[in-house]
């Protein structure tokens, strides 16, 4: 989707990602707009599929709401993801950034 997510496209996300990669973009942020701000958890399957379709880093966004979501990012199947973005979960206190960082540091 474009124009503030108001206009959708028939072009698959992986095709758009490859176009950006071919144009020299250094990294991508993949936001599942159906989950963004709703605290429903990341769409790991779609995000991992996109990361598998390109060789540039992919950052997950949209839905990260808990330490369980952070743990999912640390699973072997998510090894190609370069990071994640969260917002609302921090604002409303559902995700403690210190606990999330400790979890990541403990697995590194």
The 3 state secondary structure assigned to 8-76 is: CCCCCHHHHHHHHHHCCCCCEEEECCCCCCCCCCCCHHHHHHHHHHCCCCEEEECCCCCHHHHHHHCCH
What pLDDT does residue 68 have?
A: 93
Domain ranges of the chain: 13-107
List, for residues 4-47, the tens digit of each pLDDT value: 656 777 888 899 999 999 999 999 999 876 655 556 778 889 99
Fold for 13-107, please state it: TIM Barrel (3.20.20)
How far apart are the C-alpha atoms of 30 and 50, rounded to whole Å? 8
What pLDDT does residue 34 have?
A: 64
pLDDT surpasses 70 at 3:
no
How far apart are the C-alpha atoms of 10 and 17, rounded to whole Å? 14
What pLDDT does residue 53 have?
A: 96
List, for residues 39-92, the tens digit of each pLDDT value: 677 888 999 999 999 999 999 988 888 999 999 999 998 999 999 998 888 899
Beta bridge partners of 16: none
């Amino acid at each position: 989707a474009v124009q503030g997510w108001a206009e959708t496209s028939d072009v698959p996300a992986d095709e758009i990602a490859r176009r950006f990669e071919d144009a020299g973009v250094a990294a991508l942020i993949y936001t599942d707009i159906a989950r963004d701000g709703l605290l429903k958890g990341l769409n790991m399957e779609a995000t991992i599929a996109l990361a598998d379709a390109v060789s540039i880093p992919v950052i997950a966004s949209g839905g990260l709401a808990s330490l369980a979501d952070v743990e999912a990012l640390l699973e072997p199947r998510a090894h190609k993801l370069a990071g994640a973005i969260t917002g609302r979960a921090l604002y409303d206190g559902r995700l403690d950034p210190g606990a999330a960082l400790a979890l990541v540091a403990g697995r590194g």
